[in-house]
Amino acid sequence: YILVEHRDVRLFRQLETGRRTVVDERELLPRWLHAFDDPLSLFRRRVWLSLKTQPLRGWHVQQLRRIAISAHASQDVLIFCDSDVAFLKPFDCAAFWRDGKARLFRRDGVLADEGHEEHRIWSRNAGSALGIDPSRTSVHDYISTLIAWRRDTVLAMCGEIEKVHGRNWVEVVGSARKFSECMIYGRYVDDLLQGAGHFHGSEEFCRVHWTGEALSDHEFRRFVAAMAPEQVSIGMQSFIGTDIGRIRRLIGLD
């Protein structure tokens, strides 16, 4: 599945095949959430507005789409990969399934270390959305790309959020601008389900350049060379501004 904003659907339709489906966010998210060109960015970016949520940016809505696709898809396990990721090695998706359990990415105890303040905020807001007592904090980090979720667990998670708050789960999650879909899912599984239906894994299958400047050709090659044995893909965070054509050239696609 490729999850896109409504105005981009026509552009992405050309990528559809018998095994690839383009999904309009209007099929996933409430109709009261509307996208507009954002004047604060000189109309270069989009903003999603409603009377029920905070103003949301593209990275917020991308997370909402990830959660919402579970009500649209039919597969038991969903594997998520950001659009700024490129695969450099073969990968067997069976790595996400073991003895009837899905792999939950988790880095244990990371939030107890110095720094990570934004991650701690995301974790607290995840707990709030799920109705977890604020005194029950988590020190685990669940954020990565190329991860897997159980579809039935996501649906149950959304149901739990709506049961706790008496409102649509999108409204609840979107009421705080600092949230992480990975934190919400991870805390739901570990704090409320006690890990049922999942096993934990801390290895990241994708090596990501999250922050900083765009890499030079030499730095890019060094970045790729430093991939861990279990890593099969790389990600260049889109906000860094690395030219896609240059990435394609450096990994041999062009």
pLDDT digits (tens, 9 = 90+) for 39-77: 988 888 999 999 999 999 999 999 999 999 999 999 999
Same-domain pairing of 67 and 77: no
Same-domain pairing of 5 and 122: no
Confidence of residue 36 (pLDDT cuts 50, 70, 90): very high
Least confident residue range of 6-15, 175-184, 243-252: 243-252
Same-domain pairing of 196 and 136: yes
Which of the listed residues 54, 72, 90 is the one where a domain comes to its end? 72
110 and 182 Cβ atoms separated by less than 8 Å: no
60 and 184 Cβ atoms separated by less than 8 Å: no
Which of the listed residues 72, 90, 125 is the one where a domain comes to its end? 72
Confidence of residue 83 (pLDDT cuts 50, 70, 90): confident
Same-domain pairing of 67 and 90: no
Which residue matches tokens 């409603």?
50
247 vs 200, more confident: 200
Q: Rounded to an integer, what distance in angstroms lies between the CA atom of residue 238 and that of residue 254? A: 20
Which residue matches tokens 């706790």?
164
Confidence of residue 124 (pLDDT cuts 50, 70, 90): very high
Q: What is the pLDDT of residue 111?
A: 96
pLDDT at 246 over 90: no
Domain that holds residue 33: 1-72
Which of the listed residues 44, 72, 100 is the one where a domain comes to its end? 72
Confidence of residue 212 (pLDDT cuts 50, 70, 90): confident
Exposed/middle/buried for 105, CB within 10 Å: 0-12, 13-18, 19+? buried
Q: Which helix (H) or strand (E) holds 185?
A: helix 181-187
Orientation angle between helical segments 151-165 and 58-68, nearest 10 degrees = 110
Same-domain pairing of 226 and 133: yes
Same-domain pairing of 116 and 224: yes
Orientation angle between helical segments 151-165 and 117-130, nearest 10 degrees = 70
Q: What is the pLDDT of residue 237?
A: 84
Q: What is the pLDDT of residue 154?
A: 98
15 and 4 Cβ atoms separated by less than 8 Å: no
pLDDT at 239 over 80: no
Same-domain pairing of 34 and 78: no
Q: What is the pLDDT of residue 166?
A: 98
Q: Rounded to an integer, what distance in angstroms lies between the CA atom of residue 67 and that of residue 182? A: 9
Confidence of residue 126 (pLDDT cuts 50, 70, 90): very high
Same-domain pairing of 39 and 164: no
What is the chain's mean pLDDT, rounded?
A: 94
pLDDT tens digits, one per residue of 140-150: 999 999 999 99
Reported in sequence order, the residue ranges of the chain that DSSP labels E, i.e. its strands, are 2-4, 22-24, 34-37, 46-49, 77-80, 85-87, 97-98, 101-105, 147-150, 198-201, 206-209, 233-236
Same-domain pairing of 145 and 203: yes
Same-domain pairing of 64 and 106: no
In the chain, how many domains are there?
2
Same-domain pairing of 219 and 93: yes
Same-domain pairing of 141 and 225: yes
- Closest CA relative to residue 34, chosen from 50, 51, 56, 10: 50
Q: Rounded to an integer, what distance in angstroms lies between the CA atom of residue 110 and that of residue 194? A: 19
